[in-house]
């Protein structure tokens, strides 16, 4: 592919209604049932919506089972926010979260009187609220951050059947048949108070359908990952409740992608995630856009040394930071593509580090307050290497997983969400 570069005007041009989403049109396909799901609802705060004077409150909540007491004896007045900070595991989605609130009405001693019971259906991760009220006792609102992880990946592909071979000669060992290596997952987790939904391993029609359904629930795609395994192409995504417009353009040739990029970024849309996949001689492109108004550009088809030079040049002379990178093979060579945008914080690109070197650099970067925003892994010269985009000035560091099988990744996801860390970047590969 020839090197292509486009620099957008710093002042965005006004653009008419152009968002004919890929989600529109066509009959919706039924989404397959996930192979498994994990999740957690974190009860973050109790908002005192209405209360005469000072109220002493108690709250119990449950998910498909016996309720658990989450707080008791906390006092608040109207408009106060009372911290809860407790969580309940969710094993299946959709789930029903049910809560009962009580008020202490005793003059001497404690007398808990029920304000009421409320419930909310939780189809997936995201931010939710549940209202409970009673005219003579007041009203409260339960605020929740829900995290969901659903995988639609099939079982690992079986190793190819080996042809029958004659018995080994006397004194020689029989050849050992190769077994399929497990699918590996790498990811980045950063501090975030918002709940999120992670969907893994859907083919395009089902992913498109799932994305459409999530949008009706107020959840929008904020990160995508496309990977091929067992001869099939799979899509995965991270969804959150975000206020701005989100647009996905997928399965495009370079010419189609560039035309859409120019059209969309003529308004407020800015490229935040770029995926390049398919035939190495003629790659396919997907782009995720969100509404920002800052200056921006993209560079596609850069060799590593040229990309590193471009990152520095755009930072120094245009104030543009690399916010997303994609590394891909085309015609036997390795190329870089990147999305740049004016944004807060200072960003840096790490390239071509083996695992030991990467882990060492991350340890040093985290100690300096760097936060990772994008992780890429690929093979170069037959060796697995890692690239990353890190930034400073954006809060404390999170957690990085460079490779684990799916059960190991799931455990890490559960551990990190319990610490207030949410997934922001995802990679799949086989060794």
| Each residue's pLDDT tens digit, 58-84 | 999 999 888 999 999 999 999 999 999
pLDDT of residue 96: 96
Q: Look over the chain and give the mean of its residue pLDDT values, rounded to a whole number.
A: 88
pLDDT of residue 116: 95
pLDDT of residue 175: 54
Instruction: State how far the Cα of 78 lies from the Cα of 24, in Å rounded to an integer.
Output: 44
pLDDT of residue 181: 87
Strand partners of residue 184: 405, 429
Lowest mean pLDDT among 177-191, 208-222, 298-312: 177-191
Instruction: Compute the average pLDDT of residues 92-113.
Output: 93
Q: Is the pLDDT of residue 55 over 80?
A: yes
Q: What is the residue whose two structure tokens read 């997983």?
A: 401
Q: 14-23 pLDDT, tens per residue?
A: 223 323 333 3
Q: Are 261 and 298 in contact (CB under 8 A)?
A: yes
Instruction: State how far the Cα of 140 lies from the Cα of 132, in Å rounded to an integer.
Output: 5
Q: Is the pLDDT of residue 171 over 80?
A: no
Lowest mean pLDDT among 23-32, 118-127, 312-321, 414-423: 23-32
Which of 425, 431, 30, 422 has the alpha carbon at shortest distance from 196? 422
pLDDT of residue 165: 52
Which is more confidently placed, 154 or 383?
Answer: 383
CA atoms lying within 13 Å on the CB side of residue 210 = 26
Instruction: State how far the Cα of 348 lies from the Cα of 346, in Å rounded to an integer.
Output: 7
Q: Are 100 and 59 in contact (CB under 8 A)?
A: yes
In the chain, the percentage of residues whose pLDDT exceeds 70 is 87
Which of 196, 192, 190, 195 has the alpha carbon at shortest distance from 398? 190
pLDDT of residue 3: 37
pLDDT of residue 173: 59
Which of 132, 179, 164, 150 has the alpha carbon at shortest distance from 91? 150
Q: Is the pLDDT of residue 27 over 60?
A: no
Q: 221-230 pLDDT, tens per residue?
A: 999 999 999 9
Instruction: Compute the average pLDDT of residues 247-265.
Output: 97
pLDDT of residue 87: 96
pLDDT of residue 170: 62
Q: Is the pLDDT of residue 7 over 90?
A: no
Q: Is the pLDDT of residue 411 over 50?
A: yes
């Amino acid at each position: 592919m020839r090197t292509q570069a486009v620099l957008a005007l710093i002042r965005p041009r006004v653009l008419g209604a152009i968002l004919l989403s890929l989600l529109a049109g066509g009959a919706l396909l039924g989404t397959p049932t996930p192979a498994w799901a994990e999740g957690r609802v974190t009860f973050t705060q109790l908002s005192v919506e209405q209360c005469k004077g000072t109220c002493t409150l108690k709250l119990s909540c449950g998910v498909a089972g016996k309720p658990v007491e989450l707080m008791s004896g906390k006092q608040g007045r109207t408009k106060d926010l009372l911290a809860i900070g407790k969580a309940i595991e969710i094993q299946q989605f959709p789930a029903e979260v049910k809560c009962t609130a009580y008020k202490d009405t005793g003059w001497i001693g404690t007398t808990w009187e029920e304000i009421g019971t409320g419930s909310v259906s939780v189809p997936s991760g995201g931010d939710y609220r549940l209202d409970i009220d009673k005219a003579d006792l007041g009203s409260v609102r339960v605020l929740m951050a829900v995290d969901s992880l659903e995988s639609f990946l099939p079982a690992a592909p079986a190793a190819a059947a080996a042809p029958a071979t004659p018995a080994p000669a006397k004194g020689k060992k029989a050849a050992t048949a190769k077994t399929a290596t497990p699918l590996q997952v790498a990811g980045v987790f950063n501090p975030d108070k918002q709940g999120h939904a992670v969907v893994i391993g859907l083919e395009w029609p089902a992913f498109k359908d799932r994305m459409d359904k999530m949008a009706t629930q107020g959840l929008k795609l904020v990160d995508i990952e496309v990977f091929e395994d067992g001869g099939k192409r799979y899509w995965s995504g991270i969804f959150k409740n975000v206020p701005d417009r989100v647009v996905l353009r997928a399965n495009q040739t370079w010419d189609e992608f560039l035309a859409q990029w120019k059209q969309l970024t003529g308004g407020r849309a800015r490229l935040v995630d770029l995926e390049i996949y398919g035939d190495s001689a003629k790659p396919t492109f997907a782009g995720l856009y969100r509404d920002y108004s800052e200056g921006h550009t993209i560079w596609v088809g850069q060799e590593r040394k040229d990309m590193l030079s471009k990152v520095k040049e755009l930072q120094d002379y245009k104030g543009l930071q690399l916010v997303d990178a994609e590394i891909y093979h085309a015609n036997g060579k390795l190329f870089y593509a990147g999305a740049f945008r004016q944004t807060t914080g200072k960003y840096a690109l790490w390239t071509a580090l083996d695992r030991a070197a990467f882990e060492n650099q991350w340890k040093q970067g985290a100690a300096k307050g760097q936060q990772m925003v994008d992780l890429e892994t690929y093979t170069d010269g037959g060796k697995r290497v890692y690239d990353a985009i890190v930034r400073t000035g954006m809060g404390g560091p999170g957690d990085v997983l460079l490779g684990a099988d799916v059960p190991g990744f799931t455990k890490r996801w559960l551990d990190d969400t319990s610490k207030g860390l949410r997934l922001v970047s995802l990679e799949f590969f086989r060794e």
